[in-house]
Chains A and B, each alone.
Chain A
Amino acid sequence: MEVLDYSKELSVIEGRPALREIDEIISKPLNTKPDKKYFIALLVTLSMVGIGAISLGLSFYYGTGLWGNNNPVGWGLPIVNFVFWVGIGHAGTLISAILFLLRQKWRNGIARFAEGMTIFAVMTAGIFPLIHVGRPWLAGYLFPYPNQHSIWVNFTSPLLWDVFAVSTYFTVSFIFWFVGLIPDFATLRDQTTNKIKKVIYSVTSLGWRHSNRHWQHYEMVYLILAGFATPLVLSVHTIVSFDFAVSIMPGWHTTIFPPYFVAGAVFSGFAMVQNVLIFIRKIFNYEHIITLDTLEKMNKVILFTSMLVGYAYGMEFFIAWYSGVQVEQFTFINRAFGPYSWAYWIMVSCNVLFPQLFWIKKIRRTIPFMFVIAVLVNVGMWFERFVITVTSLSRDYLPSSWAYYKPTLVDAGILIGSFGFFFTFILLFTKTMPVVSIAEVKAVAEGSQPSHGEH
């Protein structure tokens, strides 16, 4: 057995790359012309966007009757997708803010990318509440502005809290991401020989000159933003869960929802980050920056959150039995053995059973295995939202109004479009901005900080 020396801090970057090498390797995708594979990938994602656009166009022309939503199930796939995509975003903030506050240095290699993913995931999520109202051009009513009805929005409604939470989350994530990019833009500005790029980087770097008098305030701002983003990220999925928990539907009206949703969000978000990073590190040769150790740590987080989610599933059943509420008990029996039992067991096996394989170190460190498991986790988490939303609605208090919900082809087209939208932004991001933070990686490279003997 190998023995670890815990008195020494392990380097999070493999090898000892010179600082200039880090610059070069990270900015390489920005300075080289995209190759054929890139355009093929872009073509695929853009076609998916096209499918989504056609589906949406049809939905607005003929009306939302094209969707599977029926009378008891008013919240069909649009809400499922909304919760799924908001959840994907959560890993980004967790990695960039919470792990920053916990001084986890291994986050430095993956934080930028995860933050970018947060922004794109929240953008994708934002599509769904808008289209779900059927008339997206009236979305302005969601904001409290003095309108011609001289009436205000309902500040006591969870749906309005959602508007505030998601828009705040997007804005703060975007600011956090941009602040992180300022020093990197300055480095790129000083490297580039292209005049147009120089102008763009000069403006976006806001005159940054790596001055320690700026670094001092910059680090303070980063700390403050991380401090604000941490409760914010917890509040966002809490409020999303309030959309369900504040109502009186059986299976929704439970106090476990906020922590259960947050754990699920982190779970699916980490799986998505891990999936995409596996490609990024391979394609751009970042294997020594985004190391196998980092991926293993992410797999451990996935394993941990998988068990949190599994605990929540079990606890929901326990409380349904313990509460003695018949409707509640029926709802959970119905989830596991009713008409949607197929979805329920997909959810349980993908979210609770398969991630248990991560107990085995070999699987935690083998890329194909971890990739497949993380894909399954995302499938499972999508089904979790499906199970929560659809099973409760399709069989509520009144048996006479029960109905089976089936998504239509148009619903599927919109879901495919949302994936296309998300991955198109990811692809553009990899070619226009440094997907790994240059300054942050340099700061944790070996020998980059003064030795302790000096002071």
Chain B
Amino acid sequence: MKDKILFGYTGLFDTPDSIINAAKKASEEGYKKFDINTPYPVHGMNKAMKLPPSKLGYASLVFGLSGTISALLFMYWTSVLDYPIVIGGKPFFALPAFVPIMFEVTVLSAAIATVLTMIIVYFKFPNISHPLHDTDYMRKVSSDKYGICIQADDELFDESKVQLFLKELNAQSIAPVYFDDEETENKPSAFDKKFIALLAVVAIIVSGSTYILLNKVVYSVPFNWMMNQNKISPQQSNAFFSDGFGMRNPVEETISRGNLPYQFKNKPEEAGLLLANPLAFTEENINLGRNKFDIYCSPCHGYFGNGDSRLRGQFPNPPSLHSEKVRNWKDGNIFHVITEGQNIMPSYSSQLTRQERWAVVLYIRALQRAQNAKESDIQ
């Protein structure tokens, strides 16, 4: 036993009162490196041992807040910067909708970080060995005794004095505790290179297999049957048809719903003779016509149909709508021009529905009347 290194002296007590007393005396004597071992936390022991309050709260504060902030920044980055998508008309940065996840991430990171801090900093994990383990002392304090252990590396430690001190406190089974040989040589720590390398290997294996699982395995047989279905996808070629295209055009002359073909294609005179404006001269129709005229016609024809284009010569100016010719046109002729286009004016049949086109015709008539008012109109 002589070659063993002394760790400290231990003594046992029977009641919580006596261990509190022992702790008080030990700290009054000036011992710094002593410890109390009790099967459960004894009230008032921290005060008796003169321990400063635990600082673990700061760890949870720091890690919890970093969790909140990183969750917020991450959601901001994904939803505003990296891939903004409008969902349900909400703004990209929808703070109220981000709150639940910010809260959950805060709790998660604070809880994990606090426990890890305790385990690594205070329990010295992964070093789970200690001279006190596997001693009779430990077997008793983990069940029903209260123990004190004064360590040999304390400045005031003196073998005979400590023995006397424990005896004066009426401690039972006072005994020395020695280091195991293995323990003195081998001291693992969380910051050991080997341990960190082990963690890194585990992290690489876990992330690698997750990546392969999520990005490769689920796209291979038999999990991909939904992706390779027995049907022709858009833009796919197909040998079944003589032209080799998978996509088919509709049969010629097919009429899509709501798009009756225009009967007077290239027949402006007949349009003028046979078409009549179905809309009544009401305020509602005039307003619709003005709205559409201002949007689609006014850029070239001007707000009042004078041919004063706002396009500053980038597109030739059209003639005025107040000319003798246009004023004498039938409604059907104007409708025909809007539908078919004329000279360099394109067709507006896809921008304006039939009803809207007739409303524009009404509005043009109103403009013409306003610019060429008769005596009888002024009343």
Chain B residues within an 8 Å CB radius of A442 = 39-40
Chain B residues within an 8 Å CB radius of A19 = 39, 143-144
Question: Does A402 belong to the interface (CB within 8 Å)?
Answer: no
Question: Does A151 belong to the interface (CB within 8 Å)?
Answer: yes
A154–B138 CA distance with the chains assembled, in angstroms: 54
Interface size on B, as a range, is 35 or more
Q: Is there contact, CB below 8 Å, between B37 and A210? A: yes
Question: Does A403 belong to the interface (CB within 8 Å)?
Answer: no
Q: Is there contact, CB below 8 Å, between B40 and A443? A: yes
Contact with A along B124-159 (1 / 0, CB 8 A): 110111101100001101111000000000000000
Chain A residues within an 8 Å CB radius of B87 = 154, 156-157
Stretch touching chain B among A223-231, A307-315, A360-368, A377-385: A223-231
Q: A212-B46, A213-B51 known; A187 and B104 CB under 8 Å? A: no
A235–B128 CA distance with the chains assembled, in angstroms: 36
Stretch touching chain A among B107-115, B237-245, B289-297, B318-326: B107-115
Question: Does A46 belong to the interface (CB within 8 Å)?
Answer: no
Chain B residues within an 8 Å CB radius of A449 = 16, 42-43
Q: Is there contact, CB below 8 Å, between A175 and B100? A: no
Interface residues of A in 175-206 (CB under 8 A from B): 175-176, 179, 183, 186-187, 189-191, 202-203, 205-206
Q: Is there contact, CB below 8 Å, between A207 and B78? A: no
Stretch touching chain B among A3-11, A159-167, A271-279, A418-426: A159-167
Q: Which residue of A lies closest to B99 (CB)?
A: A161
B139 → chain A closest CB, angstroms: 5
A25 → chain B closest CB, angstroms: 13
Question: Does B83 belong to the interface (CB within 8 Å)?
Answer: yes
B51 → chain A closest CB, angstroms: 6
Q: Is there contact, CB below 8 Å, between B122 and A217? A: yes
CB contact between B125 and one of A18, A207, A443 (< 8 Å): that residue: A207
A155–B71 CA distance with the chains assembled, in angstroms: 10
Interface residues of B in 212-242 (CB under 8 A from A): 213-215, 218, 223, 226
Chain A residues within an 8 Å CB radius of B74 = 144
Chain B residues within an 8 Å CB radius of A158 = 100
Question: Does A239 belong to the interface (CB within 8 Å)?
Answer: yes
Contact with A along B47-65 (1 / 0, CB 8 A): 1110100101100100000
A172 → chain B closest CB, angstroms: 5
Q: Is there contact, CB below 8 Å, between A155 and B101? A: yes
A102–B369 CA distance with the chains assembled, in angstroms: 85
Chain B residues within an 8 Å CB radius of A165 = 100, 104
Q: Is there contact, CB below 8 Å, between B82 and A448? A: no
Question: Does B44 belong to the interface (CB within 8 Å)?
Answer: yes
B143 → chain A closest CB, angstroms: 5
CB contact between A209 and one of B21, B37, B98 (< 8 Å): that residue: B37
Q: Is there contact, CB below 8 Å, between B38 and A212? A: yes
Q: A19-B144, A217-B54 known; A209 and B133 CB under 8 Å? A: yes
How many A residues, CB 8 Å from partner? 76
Chain B residues within an 8 Å CB radius of A220 = 54, 56-57
Q: Which residue of B lies closest to A138 (CB)?
A: B218
Chain A residues within an 8 Å CB radius of B36 = 211-212
A183–B143 CA distance with the chains assembled, in angstroms: 11
Question: Does A330 belong to the interface (CB within 8 Å)?
Answer: no
Question: Does B161 belong to the interface (CB within 8 Å)?
Answer: no
A214–B16 CA distance with the chains assembled, in angstroms: 18
Q: Is there contact, CB below 8 Å, between B123 and A207? A: yes
Question: Does B260 belong to the interface (CB within 8 Å)?
Answer: no
A360–B85 CA distance with the chains assembled, in angstroms: 58
CB contact between A448 and one of B16, B90, B127 (< 8 Å): that residue: B16
Q: Which residue of A lies closest to B128 (CB)?
A: A207
Question: Does A23 belong to the interface (CB within 8 Å)?
Answer: yes
Q: Is there contact, CB below 8 Å, between A152 and B122? A: no
Q: Is there contact, CB below 8 Å, between A172 and B98? A: no
Q: A207-B123, A231-B107, A454-B21 known; A191 and B57 CB under 8 Å? A: no
Q: A218-B41, A221-B118 known; A156 and B78 CB under 8 Å? A: no
Q: Is there contact, CB below 8 Å, between A168 and B108? A: yes
Q: Which residue of B lies closest to A220 (CB)?
A: B54
Most buried by A among B111, B112, B125: B111
Contact with A along B151-186 (1 / 0, CB 8 A): 000000000000000000000000000000000000
Q: Is there contact, CB below 8 Å, between B142 and A186? A: yes
CB contact between B88 and one of A156, A447, A454 (< 8 Å): that residue: A156
A204 → chain B closest CB, angstroms: 10
A222 → chain B closest CB, angstroms: 9
Question: Does B103 belong to the interface (CB within 8 Å)?
Answer: yes
Q: Is there contact, CB below 8 Å, between A450 and B40? A: no
Question: Does B203 belong to the interface (CB within 8 Å)?
Answer: no
CB contact between A206 and one of B40, B108, B119 (< 8 Å): that residue: B119
A356 → chain B closest CB, angstroms: 36
Chain B residues within an 8 Å CB radius of A214 = 122-123
Q: Is there contact, CB below 8 Å, between B20 and A455? A: yes
Chain B residues within an 8 Å CB radius of A152 = 78-79, 82-83
Chain B residues within an 8 Å CB radius of A191 = 139, 142-143
Question: Does B362 belong to the interface (CB within 8 Å)?
Answer: no
Q: A148-B215, A164-B105 known; A20 and B143 CB under 8 Å? A: yes
Q: A155-B78, A160-B101 known; A190 and B138 CB under 8 Å? A: yes
Q: A20-B144, A148-B215, A214-B123 known; A155 and B75 CB under 8 Å? A: yes
Chain A residues within an 8 Å CB radius of B111 = 171-172, 175-176, 224-225, 228-229
Contact with A along B319-344 (1 / 0, CB 8 A): 00000000000000000000000000
Question: Does B352 belong to the interface (CB within 8 Å)?
Answer: no
Q: A161-B101, A164-B104 known; A224 and B46 CB under 8 Å? A: no
Residues of B that sit less than 8 Å from A by CB: 15-17, 20-21, 23, 35-49, 51, 54, 56-57, 60, 74-75, 78-79, 82-83, 85, 87-88, 90, 94, 97-98, 100-101, 103-105, 107-108, 110-112, 114-115, 118-119, 122-125, 127-130, 132-133, 138-139, 141-144, 210, 213-215, 218, 223, 226
Apart from A168-B108, A179-B115, 20 more pairs, CB < 8 Å: A20-B144, A145-B214, A152-B79, A154-B87, A155-B101, A168-B107, A183-B40, A186-B142, A205-B128, A207-B124, A210-B39, A210-B141, A212-B23, A212-B41, A213-B35, A224-B56, A224-B111, A225-B114, A228-B110, A455-B48
**What 8 A-B pairs come out closest when comparing CB atoms?**
A207-B128, A19-B144, A156-B97, A220-B54, A152-B78, A443-B40, A212-B36, A161-B100
Residues of A that sit less than 8 Å from B by CB: 18-20, 23, 135, 137-138, 140, 144-145, 147-148, 150-152, 154-158, 160-161, 164-165, 168, 171-172, 175-176, 179, 183, 186-187, 189-191, 202-203, 205-221, 224-225, 228-229, 231-232, 235, 239, 242, 438-440, 442-443, 447-451, 454-455
A-B contact pairs, 22 of them (CB 8 A): A19-B39, A23-B144, A151-B85, A158-B100, A161-B101, A172-B107, A172-B111, A187-B39, A191-B143, A206-B123, A207-B125, A207-B133, A208-B123, A209-B133, A210-B142, A213-B122, A215-B41, A217-B122, A439-B39, A449-B43, A450-B17, A455-B20
